[in-house]
């Protein structure tokens, strides 16, 4: 099953390039933040930004992406530390 999402304007947040998906089971690193935003671990945050959305709505989605990004950084750093020991 393929799902296609079309948006007016899309904002991307580039993130780190590591992929620790295997550390968090079942999600493959794809985390819905809201019906209008998705965080893809280690790659980006996609936020639907049609002109009808307020800056506050966009900000809320972006903050959700940041929280998820920080969580994945912690997982990635923990995995890197364990590999080096």
Distance CA 52, CA 58 (A): 11
Nearest-angstrom CA–CA distance, 43 and 27: 14
Domain assignment present for residue 5? The answer is no
The total domain count for the chain is 1
Q: Is residue 4 part of a domain?
A: no
Residue 39 lies in a domain: yes
Residuewise pLDDT in 10s, the chain (85 residues) = 444 444 444 443 333 334 444 445 556 789 999 999 999 988 899 999 999 999 999 999 999 999 999 988 998 887 667 666 6
- Domain hosting residue 73, numbered range: 10-84
What is the side-by-side strand order in the sheet with 37-40? 10-12, 44-48, 37-40, 30-34
C-alpha distance from residue 26 to each of 1, 23, 46, 56 (Å):
17, 9, 20, 31
What pTM did the predictor assign? 0.62
């Amino acid at each position: 099953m393929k799902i296609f999402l079309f948006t007016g304007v899309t904002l991307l947040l580039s993130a780190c390039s590591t992929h620790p998906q295997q550390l968090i089971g079942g999600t493959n690193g794809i985390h819905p933040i809201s019906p209008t935003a998705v965080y893809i671990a280690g790659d980006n945050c996609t936020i639907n930004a049609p002109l009808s959305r307020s800056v506050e709505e966009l900000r809320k989605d972006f903050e959700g992406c940041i929280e998820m990004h920080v969580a994945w950084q912690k997982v990635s750093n923990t995995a890197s530390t364990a590999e080096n020991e």
